Amino acid sequence: MRTQNDNGLCLNVNQSQTVSAPSLKKSECIKPQPLISLEVKCIENLKSLGIEDLIHALKMIHDLALYHTDFCLDTTEKNALYSLKALWSELETLVKS
């Protein structure tokens, strides 16, 4: 996960910190590392599936779970929905680049 200042990847971030996004100390972060071949292959697979279609699907799942259900959402579910939103946001930046 990137910090708010986008100055590196953070190792010590748990899921409860994801929703509130507190400021992190510089000592808790490291500089990004080059992608390994498995990560590159994963990105290539996403591109071959159609990133725009995947973004649309993630948004649909998010909206169905949030706006079209009678279930109460607890912290775990809210974190999962936030993770979906973060994922499609990052995929949108990948499409734009």
Lowest average pLDDT, out of 8-12, 48-52, 68-72, 86-90, goes to 8-12
Q: State residue 4's pLDDT score.
A: 45
Residue type, 83: S
0.95 exceeded by pTM: no
Element (H, E) at 9: strand 9-10
pLDDT digits 0-9 by tens, 16-71? 444 444 555 555 667 788 888 998 898 888 888 899 999 999 999 999 988 888 88
97 CB neighbour count, 10 Å cutoff: 5
Contact between 36 and 47 under an 8 Å Cβ cutoff? The reply is no
